[in-house]
Structure 1
């Protein structure tokens, strides 16, 4: 299935990641290391290198081929990659669901870019992938991400205690979902 790139802001395209993005992803993750630290697992030093990203992209490519993940980047025509959106843990059939994760660069936060990207991914998930719902989780103190999800039509459905190991500790998360459609599963 082909998922077309989408313009989500002036000069910024949401597009599928490619193996050629390794160096730019390493640059983007390195530049935003402190910004992302409170919201992500601790990363080994090689994660922030082109080689580390190339290995990660090879894994993501295989997961995409298997239909289990769809990885996107936010590509600014002047600055390169300024964010990432992943739809992972995709389950077909009666569940028709996937898990959403995303981030935007620190200098792009609060400008609507995450909201536009999440909206576009939800549209692709429902229209192009035929998914019924998308779920997301945020660390309980990540109010900015919770606002993005609310703007994009997600509802809070619960709290998961010690849900993910984030920034060196097991963290509680709020869980959200967005129902995309009520069509029969594929």
Structure 2
């Protein structure tokens, strides 16, 4: 299985591999404060090779089982973002959830928008999905803009949807219908 797309002159979106464990860990360490308001509270153990190996090996296993699609945005060997399809459900649902983030030094360059557009196209043409969903914190206007640019539409508010930064927080839910 392979997937690789040039997002810009210096950024590529590709499938996560085991060789990315160190670079992903470095990216999380570099972006710990940047991501903290948007992520679950992270224990110090999250920022260790042992824990990232466990998490990323699990994501690769989900890829192999068809239940997930973990991607990295890279500049050379440096991970500068992630896009992950998770909870892929087949049968009559044909749906998945998507999450993403971009390195603090690379925000505002259109990488998240380009990555989402590419993944949406791949989901339609190659993965055969009907629907992708995403959620953002109500005040995450940047992420909402990225989703809108990728053709996602808001579908409602989920109260106390995820525990982010240590608090159960409301989320604005979005979806993108890929086929009619």
Same fold (TM over 0.5): yes
Aligned length: 180
2 CA distance for matches of 1:74 and 1:134?
20
Alignment match of 1:167 (pick from 162, 165, 168): 165
List 4+ stretches of structure 1 deviating above 4 A.
Answer: none
Alpha carbons 1:22, 1:51 under 8 Å: kept: no
Q: Deviations over 1:107-141 (max 9, x none)?
A: 11111010001111111111110001110000101
CA RMSD of aligned residues (A): 1.0
Unaligned runs of 5+ in 2: none
Please state whether the residue corresponding to 2:66 is helix, strand or coil: coil
Whether 1:102 aligns to 2:121 is no
1:75–1:81 Cα contact (<8 Å) kept: yes
- Give the deviation of 1:62 after TM superposition: 1.5
The C-alpha deviation readout for 1:68-99, integer Å capped at 9, x for no partner, is 1100000102x610000000010111111000
Q: TM-score, normalised by structure 2?
A: 0.97
CA distance in 2, matches of 1:5, 1:16: 7
SS in 2 for 1:57: helix
Q: Is the 8 A contact 1:23 1:49 kept in 2?
A: no
From 110, 114, 117, give the equivalent of 2:115: 117
2-side partners of 1:90 and 1:172: how far apart? 23
